Structure formats: C-alpha cells, structure tokens
C-alpha cells in the first residue's frame, strides 16, 4: 500500500491501483475515502478499507472527485456497510443521483472522433447504482467539521464541470482526472469538457503550494512538471 505523509502527520494511502486509483486520507483514528474505482477493483478496495479499519480507524466520509463510473462504481458496495456522508461538487451531483456518468469530450482530434462515435454505447456501459449525496460542495470547503481541518476541497473544473480536488496540508493534491500521470512529463488528459477551464484549474492547484499531485490515472506528478505543462498550454491558448 503506497503511502505519502505530510508535515502534520496525515497519511495518504493508495488503496487500489490499476486503471482508476483510489486513495484514503488517514488522521489518527479516522480516514476519508477518495473515489471508489471501477467494479473490477472492488475486491482490492474493500480489502484496503478493511486493513485500515483493522488498525483501529473508522471511515468518516466518502469524497468524489467527479461523477464518472470509474470513480463511482463501488459506492453502493461501500455504503452497504458504512453509513457515512457522500461528498461531491454540486455540479456533478445530478449524475451521481441518477447513476449516470457526466458526458465526456476528447481533447485531441482522434479522441474527439472516437467519443462522438461511441458516446451512446459509453453511456450505457458507464451506468452505476445511483446514490444520493449528503453534502454538495460549491467552490471550496474545509473539512474541519469532520475533524480534518488540514484538508480542503477545491473546485477544479474542466474534465467535468463539477470536478474537485482534495488538498492535504497544502502539500499533496488528489486531483482525480484534472490531470493524468500516464505519459512521462505530461499531465494533459485525453478527455475534458472544457480545456480552458482545465488549464485554469492547473493554475489554481499550483497556487495551493502543493508539491505532489496524485491523479487517478497514472503516477504522481511533481510540481515542476505541472508548472511546465501549465506554461506550455497557457502559451497555446494565447496563440
């Protein structure tokens, strides 16, 4: 189980790997779950949750970076045994509560072509059991009421209109699909509803002071990589 530790002692744990990673933020005897992954990762995810609980921790809340099936597919399985609040940005809440994935758009021509051809089939395959959210976030929220005053939710739209990132101690950012980590030295995702908003969200993430950015797909991104990518795409937008 890969781990990152912040200056105040919060632990960020990767519970499930594969195509869609799931993270937990652990503080003393409580933890937050970030996303739930695909159905194929359910066994690994539940095993990871059990390992944390065996150490004496209890789940405090489930936070979703956005409402795509590869981040929401295991919510019902988790809530079956954990009566905890589900937190999502208000702009994506309608998808969660209807069991649908937010629409996708390709960021490069070939992906745009494929998405246009396969969108209807994708929406059928991307359904999941609907869940009602308990807390819908607007732009920002500090989770001090849950005992995690070091954790902030930050609105980072672009991949979807309701995408949000989780900022831990202004050191580590859990960014969902706001950036990828699959291609070395690149963070640009293949899908985004609004590329301009996406690039602007990178700027907002850099302003948090974080040095490590953990995407759901791929490996972690160092701050210097994000800064370089932000400058590159800013220039492209100007031109």
Q: At 49, which CATH number?
A: 3.60.15.10
Number of Cβ within 10 Å of residue 216's Cβ equals 27
**DSSP for the chain, written as a single string:** --EEE-TT--EEEEEE-TTS-EEEEEETTEEEEE----GGGHHHHHHHHHHHHHTT-EEEEEE-S---HHHHTTHHHHHTT----EEEETTTHHHHTTT-PPP--BSSHHHHHHHHHHHHHHHHHT-------SEEE-SEEEEGGGTEEEEEEEE--SSSTT-EEEEETTTEEEEETSS-BSSTT----SB-S-HHHHHHHHHHHHHTT-SEEEESSBS-EEHHHHHHHHHHHHHHHH-
**In contact, 210 and 150? CB cutoff 8 Å:** no
Split into its structural domains, the chain has a count of 1
**In contact, 190 and 108? CB cutoff 8 Å:** yes
pLDDT digit string (tens) for the chain, length 239 residues: 799 999 999 999 999 877 899 999 999 999 999 999 999 999 999 999 999 999 999 999 999 999 999 999 999 999 999 999 999 999 999 999 999 888 878 787 777 777 666 666 566 667 889 999 999 999 999 999 999 999 999 999 999 999 999 999 999 999 999 999 999 999 999 989 999 999 999 999 999 999 999 999 999 999 999 999 999 998 776 54
pLDDT score for 42: 92
**In contact, 86 and 75? CB cutoff 8 Å:** yes
pLDDT score for 135: 94
Range of the domain at 178: 3-238
**CA separation, residue 177 to residues 55, 76, 77, 80 (Å):** 30, 22, 23, 26
Nearest Cα neighbor of 146 from 60, 79, 208, 64 is 60
**In contact, 64 and 160? CB cutoff 8 Å:** no
Name the pairing type of β-strands 164-168 and 148-155: antiparallel
């Amino acid at each position: 189980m890969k781990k990152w530790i912040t200056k105040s002692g919060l632990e960020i744990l990767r519970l499930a790997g594969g195509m869609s990673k799931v993270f937990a933020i652990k503080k003393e005897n409580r933890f937050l779950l970030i996303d739930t992954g695909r159905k194929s990762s359910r066994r690994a995810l539940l095993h990871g949750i059990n390992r944390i609980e065996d150490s004496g921790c209890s789940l405090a809340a489930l936070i979703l970076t956005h409402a795509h099936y590869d981040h929401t597919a295991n919510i019902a399985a988790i809530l079956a045994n954990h009566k905890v609040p589900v937190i999502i940005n208000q702009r994506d809440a309608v998808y969660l509560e209807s069991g649908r994935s937010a629409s996708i758009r390709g960021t490069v021509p070939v992906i745009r072509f494929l998405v246009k051809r396969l969108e209807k089939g994708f929406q059928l395959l991307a359904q999941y059991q609907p869940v009602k959210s308990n807390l819908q976030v607007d732009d920002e929220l500090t989770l001090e009421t849950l005992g995690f005053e070091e954790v902030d939710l930050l609105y980072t739209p672009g991949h979807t209109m309701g995408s949000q990132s989780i900022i831990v101690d202004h050191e580590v950012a859990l960014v969902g699909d706001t950036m990828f980590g699959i291609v070395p030295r690149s963070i640009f995702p293949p899908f985004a509803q609004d590329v301009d908003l996406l690039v602007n969200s990178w700027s907002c993430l850099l302003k948090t002071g974080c040095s490590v950015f953990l995407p759901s797909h791929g490996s972690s991104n160092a701050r210097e990589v994000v800064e370089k990518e932000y400058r590159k795409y800013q220039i492209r937008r100007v031109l």
